């Protein structure tokens, strides 16, 4: 038990070290959040796995598991932080902490979460009205993302289409699916070798209420999620 406590303590110290490194490299104060979360989760999971793998030397195994888990978790967290900043730089924008507010002012919004990086594109710059074919501007923006993804071949990509609430659910579902699939195919055509999923959500997940033309324009969007592994993939339509 003492060894487990020691390992967890050392790993939490690593959280502070990694956070300090991020700050020294000129990152924003909250840029190390994903790294810290990854280290903490990795520590606890690693310790648990280490403790149950053997009836003997549980304390030693837990200590080793915690240390390994912390390193793996920290690497995932740092990768997400780094990816988010690289994506934002490629799109000539900033990493936002509030997607709903940022999307009111910007056509492209990059946000980072504990388990993924998310890029939101407003539909007005992506597709013509009632069309599922990406515009030339959309192709130019998507091409910028390709250069970042080439640096992260293990990242899992999920493209998701959303609409406003005008029209039937089924019509909007098909439209959102076609848009998501077309963007996913564009990524593949541009040379992305990552595993890519595509899905349409119709109007089931609005960012804001569909009660005005301005809000409907916000809800018409394409989201691209970047995940470090399969375990991080979420249900994007609920």
33 pLDDT above the threshold of 90: no
The radius of gyration computed from the CA coordinates of the chain, to the nearest angstrom, equals: 20
Q: What is the pLDDT of residue 30?
A: 42
98 pLDDT above the threshold of 70: yes
Q: What is the pLDDT of residue 166?
A: 94
Mean of the per-residue pLDDT values for the chain?
Answer: 78
CA distances from 66 to 37, 73, 202, 232 (A): 14, 10, 42, 20
Cα separation of 199 and 166, whole Å?
19
Q: What is the pLDDT of residue 31?
A: 41
- Read off φ and ψ for residue 131, nearest 5 degrees: -105, 150
Q: What is the pLDDT of residue 59?
A: 54
Cα separation of 201 and 184, whole Å?
15
Q: What is the pLDDT of residue 57?
A: 54
Q: Could you tell me what percent of the chain has a pLDDT over 90? A: 53
196 pLDDT above the threshold of 50: yes
Q: For the sheet with 221-227, list strands across it.
A: 95-96, 108-112, 117-122, 221-227, 156-162, 196-200
**Residue with the larger pLDDT of the pair 41 and 144:** 144
60 pLDDT above the threshold of 80: no
Identify any residues that bridge with 120 across adjacent strands, giving them in sequence order. Answer: 109, 223
Domain with CATH 3.30.1330.60 in the chain: 95-232
Q: How confident is the model at residue 123 (pLDDT cuts 50, 70, 90)?
A: confident
HSE toward the beta carbon, residue 102, CA cutoff 13 A: 16
Does the pTM of the predicted model rise above 0.75?
A: no
89 pLDDT above the threshold of 90: yes
Q: Are residues 91 and 141 in contact, defined by beta-carbon separation less than 8 angstroms?
A: yes
Average pLDDT over residues 141-151: 92
217 pLDDT above the threshold of 70: yes
CATH numeric code, 95-232:
3.30.1330.60
129 pLDDT above the threshold of 90: no
Q: How confident is the model at residue 143 (pLDDT cuts 50, 70, 90)?
A: very high
Q: How confident is the model at residue 128 (pLDDT cuts 50, 70, 90)?
A: confident
């Amino acid at each position: 038990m003492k060894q487990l406590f020691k390992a967890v303590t050392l790993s939490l110290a690593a959280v502070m070290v990694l956070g300090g490194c991020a700050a020294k490299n000129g990152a924003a104060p909250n840029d190390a959040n994903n790294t810290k979360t990854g280290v903490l989760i990795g520590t606890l999971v690693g310790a648990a796995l280490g403790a149950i793998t053997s009836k003997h030397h549980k304390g030693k195994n837990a200590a080793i598991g915690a240390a390994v888990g912390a390193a793996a978790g920290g690497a995932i967290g740092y990768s997400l932080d780094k990816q988010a900043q690289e994506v934002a730089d490629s799109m000539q924008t900033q990493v936002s902490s509030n997607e709903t507010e940022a999307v009111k002012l910007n056509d492209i919004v990059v946000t980072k979460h504990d388990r993924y990086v998310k890029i939101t594109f407003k539909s007005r710059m992506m597709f013509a009205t009632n069309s599922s074919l990406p515009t030339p501007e959309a192709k130019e923006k998507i091409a910028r993302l390709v250069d970042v993804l080439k640096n992260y071949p293990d990242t899992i990509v999920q493209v998701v289409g959303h609409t406003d609430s005008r029209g039937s659910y089924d019509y909007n579902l098909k439209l959102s699916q076609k848009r998501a699939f077309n963007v996913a195919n564009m990524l593949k055509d541009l040379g992305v070798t990552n595993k890519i999923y595509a899905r349409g959500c119709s109007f089931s997940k609005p960012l804001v209420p569909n009660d005005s033309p301005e809000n409907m324009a916000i809800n018409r969007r394409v989201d691209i999620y970047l995940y470090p592994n399969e375990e991080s993939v979420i249900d994007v339509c609920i």
